[in-house]
């Protein structure tokens, strides 16, 4: 089986993605919603706040109000949009967050260590964390009964609190737990680029040993986390991770034909 | 088993409701979200529009944009709020809409026949309908594996399109399909009142034969649909419907002690 993560960035063509996806068998979908979340949060008077960790990774600061809007967009608008479209294509999809059935469980971060204006700072009140367990029993129960799970953050802490988790790393954790062969991570770029401004500068192949140096040298913004997710997937036993482009007409099929950045 | 529908009106105390609910066994939750939906839709520049049918029932006009915001509030904010709170109380809840797994399937209305300024009018573009089938296999699959389903509109049309459905009638249909003994419908009033302005004027007992005359004589606004839902539940084999008050500390236990309006 394979896991496909479809991002929530601008420019993603969900209809083409789904029409292509359903030509394949035995898959599970994880999705994002960042672009819609930023738009709606801003309209609701709660614009997004991003922080940069001391190790150089960017993440959304998620207080309770942000988490409510996060649920509105990820669990509400985006998840049900994808499930409805799949149902319209005769695929019996079931949309779930990590809270439902404790599907994706993990540790809440106690505090964020961030860099702000060049200075280190400790930030509290952030509801985010890292997934450590996936309820594979629930996923198998659904898949054995011919349902297609469509999964989205948030996850749930051991204390039973919703926590924001990175969507790509969430997909990696699900792929590892479900013993998937392949993880496809689709976004609105062709893959990992040597030069973020030049789509022709795509790096088509990468080994697991090269990931760290490429996080340092080439990856910008959200691409850093995609590489981190790729490393976590491969270390956990997934055979290949493909970073592909969801702006085209057949992103899943093209990923299987090794378009994009293949990490093995 | 029993089905409890908790409304989405102002003043409902969800923490008390859930703390009381989990003292009971073998239940399934259906919820609303109208108050939050009205607030958020208005903030997003898309205030709610209500129409009155020729038969005198009020409903929300649901175009595509409204349905997206509906999903944000019902499937996103409200459903995940309830599931998170239940998880915090060690109940393994799973939140689903009627779209997920075609859980609640029905016919989309072709057109709404409404009364506007005293004149009859036909309104098109409304995405709403009536549930005719419940996927009891999926509900049993979850309940047999110790999950507690937390259900919310929208439902899905036979063509695979999301449709808004009334939450009380949705709960009635689920109760009938699951062969529940009891349906409890909780809102922010004590039950059916003779005088909507006087909470002491509660009608404590009603037979199925009296429902139609009471819809005419006493029920106002949303209460009309609750009585309609009650009739549908009883006609479908549910033994009793209790209209109870979700503003108190033990609304489920009190309903079982026959506080509220008991319809048999």
- Using CB atoms, pick whichever of A84, A89, A97 lies closest to residue B162: A84
To probe the interface with A, which of B65, B72, B90, B155 has the most A CB atoms within 10 Å? B72
Q: Do A89 and B160 lie within an 8 Å CB cutoff?
A: yes
On whether any CB of chain B is under 8 Å from the CB of A147, the answer is yes
To probe the interface with A, which of B83, B100, B135, B155 has the most A CB atoms within 10 Å? B100
Q: Residue B154: which of A195, A250, A97, A95 has the closest Cα?
A: A95
pLDDT for res A154? 98
Closest chain A CA to residue B36: A72
pLDDT tens digits, one per residue of B171-220:
999 999 999 999 999 999 999 999 999 999 999 999 999 999 999 888 88
To probe the interface with B, which of A94, A106, A127, A156 has the most B CB atoms within 10 Å? A94
On whether any CB of chain B is under 8 Å from the CB of A46, the answer is no
Which H/E stretch holds residue A245? strand A240-245
Pairing of strands B104-108, B2-6: unpaired
ipTM: 0.96
pLDDT for res B214? 93
pLDDT tens digits, one per residue of A225-264:
999 999 999 999 999 999 999 998 999 999 999 999 999 9
Task: Give yes or no for residue B83 having a pLDDT over 90.
Answer: yes
User: What confidence category does residue B263 fall into, taking pLDDT thresholds of 50, 70 and 90?
Assistant: very high
pTM for the predicted model, two decimal places = 0.97
Distances (CA, A) of A94 to A89, A142, B102, B150: 13, 8, 8, 14
Q: Do A160 and B90 lie within an 8 Å CB cutoff?
A: yes
Q: By three-state DSSP, how is residue A215 classified?
A: helix
Looking at CA atoms only, how far is residue B99 from chain A in angstroms?
Answer: 6
On whether any CB of chain B is under 8 Å from the CB of A100, the answer is yes
- CA–CA separation, A76 vs B17, rounded Å? 23
pLDDT tens digits, one per residue of B234-261:
999 999 999 999 998 999 999 999 999 9
pLDDT for res A221? 82
**pLDDT mean across residues, chain A:** 96
* CA pseudo-torsion sign B221, B222, B225, B226: negative
Let me know: does B155 contact B177? Beta carbons within 8 Å.
no
pLDDT tens digits, one per residue of A103-160:
999 999 989 999 999 999 999 999 999 999 999 999 999 999 999 999 999 999 999 9
- CA–CA separation, B99 vs B94, rounded Å? 14
Task: Give domain B2-263's CATH number out of 3.40.50.970, 3.40.1160.10, 2.30.290.10, 3.40.50.300.
Answer: 3.40.1160.10
Q: B163 contacts in A (CB within 8 Å)?
A: none
Q: Do A72 and B68 lie within an 8 Å CB cutoff?
A: no
In terms of C-beta density within 10 A (0-12 exposed, 13-18 middle, 19 or more buried), how is residue B248 classed? middle
Q: Do A160 and B93 lie within an 8 Å CB cutoff?
A: no
Task: Give yes or no for residue A96 having a pLDDT over 90.
Answer: yes
- Using CB atoms, pick whichever of A44, A76, A145 lies closest to residue B76: A76
Q: What is the mean pLDDT of residues B60-80?
A: 97
pLDDT for res A105? 98
pLDDT for res A220? 85
Least confident of A90-94, B9-13, B43-47: B9-13
Q: B129 contacts in A (CB within 8 Å)?
A: none
Q: What share of chain A is helix, strand, coil (3-state, %, to 5)?
A: 40, 30, 35
- Using CB atoms, pick whichever of A77, A83, A137 lies closest to residue B76: A77
Q: Residue A61: which of A44, A49, A74 has the closest Cα?
A: A49
pLDDT tens digits, one per residue of A108-122:
998 999 999 999 999
pLDDT tens digits, one per residue of B29-59:
999 999 999 999 999 999 999 999 998 888 9
For chain A, give the number of residues: 264
Q: What is the mean pLDDT of residues B127-151?
A: 98
Residues facing A94 on adjacent strands: A149
pLDDT for res A26? 96
Q: A97 contacts in B (CB within 8 Å)?
A: 80, 83, 95
Task: Give yes or no for residue A222 having a pLDDT over 90.
Answer: no
Distances (CA, A) of A125 to A64, A110, A156, B246: 8, 9, 16, 31
Ordered by start, the domain boundaries in chain B are 2-263
Largest CA distance in chain B: 53
Closest chain B CA to residue A90: B160
pLDDT tens digits, one per residue of B84-112:
999 999 999 999 999 999 999 999 998 99
The four Cα atoms B125, B126, B130, B131 give a dihedral, to 10 degrees, of 90
To probe the interface with A, which of B45, B46, B76, B90 has the most A CB atoms within 10 Å? B76
Q: Do A99 and B92 lie within an 8 Å CB cutoff?
A: no
For chain B, give the number of residues: 264
Q: Do B87 and A99 lie within an 8 Å CB cutoff?
A: yes
Residues facing B157 on adjacent strands: B106
Closest chain A CA to residue B105: A87
Closest chain B CA to residue A74: B76
Q: What is the mean pLDDT of residues A55-84?
A: 96
Residue B12: CB partners within 8 Å, gap ≥ 6? B6, B186, B187, B188, B246, B247
pLDDT for res B56? 87
Q: Do B77 and A72 lie within an 8 Å CB cutoff?
A: yes
**What angle, 0 to 180 degrees and rounded to 10, lies between the N-to-C axes of helices A222-235 and A167-177?**
10
pLDDT tens digits, one per residue of A147-197:
999 999 999 999 999 999 999 999 999 999 999 999 999 999 999 999 999
pLDDT for res B221? 82
Scan for tokens 């459905």, then name that residue: B165
pLDDT for res B264? 96
Q: B99 contacts in A (CB within 8 Å)?
A: 80, 83-84, 87, 95
Q: B92 contacts in A (CB within 8 Å)?
A: 101-102
Q: Residue A248: which of A191, A181, A167, A172 has the closest Cα?
A: A191
Alpha-helical regions (H) of B89-191: 136-144, 167-177
On whether any CB of chain B is under 8 Å from the CB of A156, the answer is yes
Give me the percent of chain A exceeding a pLDDT of 70: 100
Let me know: does A159 contact B88? Beta carbons within 8 Å.
yes
Looking at CA atoms only, how far is residue B141 from chain A in angstroms?
Answer: 8
């Amino acid at each position: 089986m394979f896991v496909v993560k479809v991002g929530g960035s601008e420019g993603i063509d969900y209809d083409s993605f789904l029409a292509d996806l359903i030509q394949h068998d035995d898959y599970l979908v994880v999705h994002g919603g960042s672009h819609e979340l930023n738009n709606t949060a801003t309209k609701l008077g709660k614009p997004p706040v991003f922080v940069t960790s001391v190790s150089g990774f960017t993440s959304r600061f998620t207080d309770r109000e942000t988490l409510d809007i996060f649920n509105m967009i990820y669990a509400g608008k985006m998840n049900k949009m994808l499930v409805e479209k799949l149902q319209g294509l005769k695929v019996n999809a079931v949309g779930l967050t990590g809270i439902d059935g404790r599907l994706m469980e993990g540790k809440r971060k106690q505090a964020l260590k961030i860099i702000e204006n060049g200075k280190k700072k400790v930030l509290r009140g952030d509801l985010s964390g890292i997934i450590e367990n996936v309820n594979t029993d629930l996923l198998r129960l659904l898949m054995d009964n011919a349902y297609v799970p469509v999964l989205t953050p948030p996850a749930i802490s051991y204390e039973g609190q919703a926590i924001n988790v990175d969507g790509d790393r969430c997909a990696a954790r699900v792929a590892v737990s479900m013993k998937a062969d392949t993880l496809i991570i689709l976004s609105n770029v062709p893959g990992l680029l040597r030069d973020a401004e030049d789509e022709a500068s795509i790096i088509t192949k990468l080994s697991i040993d090269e990931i760290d140096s490429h996080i340092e040298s080439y990856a910008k913004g959200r691409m850093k986390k995609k590489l981190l997710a790729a490393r976590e997937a491969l270390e956990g036993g997934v055979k290949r991770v493909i970073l592909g482009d969801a702006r085209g007409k057949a992103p899943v099929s093209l990923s299987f034909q090794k378009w994009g950045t293949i990490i093995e």
